[in-house]
Structure 1
Amino acid sequence: MKSTGLDFAKLFETMPTPFMVLDGEMRFVIANDAYLAVTGRQLDELVGRYVFDVFPDTPERQAATEASFRQALAGERNRMDRNVYAIERPGKGRQDVYWSVMHTPMHDADGHVYGVLQYAQDVTAEVAAERMRDVISQEYDHRVRNLMTKISAIARHTARHSDDLIDFLNDFDPRISAMARTHELLVNGGWEKLGLRALIDSELKPFAGQQQTVIDGPDCTLSSRVAQALGMALHELATNAAKYGALSQGNGRLHISWRLGDDGSLILDWLETGLTHVKTSAAAGFGSTIIDRILPMETGGTVDRNLHATSLSCTITLPDPLKP
């Protein structure tokens, strides 16, 4: 046969994909640079040693890999997809990696099998990405179910306090819109956390009377759970202010401020002043349930509301603004 002039030993050594060869006793014969790099070993640590002495694994994993090697030694090429291997990384301890490997029998000039060539493709990142997609899908499913449950509950309770369909829609639609605004902010922020100021601005935006409002407080971050519950409560407070309170009266003023306690708690003060002809019934209904019962239940916090002749105050204390 005419020589091709190729240096096959050099080609094997410099291939970017991990390759190694075992003899009939499953001892290392050779491994290329890519294999040595991903396993963190030197060639002299491998040659002549039994593969499972170098890379011990759980009995189940070792049995499966050994069976694949023996199948190749019996002359049958075979593949192991996404097989997990425990590899000792220098300074990092043992780590699991996922390889899709091909085990090919190697024949001598007489056609006898004398070893196994392993070609390995690292699919660890692919497996991790698929697992992350599964987690995200499950989390998304959970959030959708949770959202549907909340919408259903709001619909039932709103209907219970409505005189007719028009009355129901006038209360229900704004509540769902409030939920949607908070949801949008959370989605844009990766659903992890939400700034308190952004939440307040979002819930006050639909209402007139911005010039009557003062908002003041330090940077504060809320978990998604706390943000959703507080957002609904702020919507109810703002709705009440627009219908009966400071935002419905020319001389009314709304001051929203908050501070952080030494223990990490959040204390938010909602204060309406300059009120006249305040209706005590304005605090009744499902909105009151959201503020006084649902918010504390969801956040573990407390709510203290007080109605006076010319003012209304509401202090919300959240012991853990980042409650998951």
Structure 2
Amino acid sequence: MEWTERDVPEQRGRVAVVTGANTGLGFETARVLAERGASVVLAVRDTEKGKQAAARMIGDVTVQALDLTSLDSVRAAAAALRDRHRRIDLLINNAGVMYTPKQTTRDGFELQFGTNHLGHFALTGLLLDLLLPVPGSRVVTVSSTGHRIRAAIHFDDLQWERSYSRVGAYGQSKLANLMFTYELQRRLAAHGSTVAVAAHPGMSNTELARNTPAIVRTPLTWLAPAITQKAPMGALPTLRAATDPAVLGGQYYGPGGRTEVKGHPRLVTSSPQSYDAATQHRLWTTSEELTGIKFPI
């Protein structure tokens, strides 16, 4: 049976924080959660765009400034959310950048690794104690099939200072998203009912692909109708990971079609290296050192 947004259960009384929710996959994820009754926080870098997005949604939707390229902004956003909410049921780490030219965050991290992984790692650590007491709470982190492409955790050069590959840096960040999820779930297992789950959208037609090199982007433009899906479909794996009562901690959801490019969401598997527990643990320790954030577990 195909899982659709109609299968999202009632969310009334729940609080959901969705990063990067002013457009694309994040917008669609937040829209459905709000329509199902959740109090949804759009955690976005551009608050004006966030307010415009909120105005297009039905339900209880607020906007919180969050710039994942700045640990100061992450701390400020977490403090504001803690002031406003006694609990969080869903933290959806959706925001991301892809294939960017070589740049660094305000803290000096390679932009893709700093935004996609370290920013979300820090945010989760700062908010986790608001989720731990909440029955059925979940941390959902959005990865990508890109975690399989030229991907490794380059502990000898995490910030790509010696050389730079747009594709390799993106692959590292998305592999890190999965390793973070699996290590987080291992640590959560002894702490109540909070679980960590991952998802990926397949190939979705969103603004995320704007930095794709022209040599790749040009043929994709012609092929897009056949090999990509629109944002509402791309958001379904995240929504299933966040709301399906049958979901278990440490699982990974993606499109059910051939090669996971498109289709209705189902349980999928990630690359063999993503399950390496020693690398997961090392990445966790390194991430704590880089961000200065210690988790309450």
Please state which band the TM-score falls in when normalised by the shorter chain: under 0.3
Which of the two has greater strand per residue?
1
Larger relative contact order, structure 1 or 2 (CA cutoff 8 Å, min sep 6): 2
TM-score if structure 1 supplies the norm length?
A: 0.21
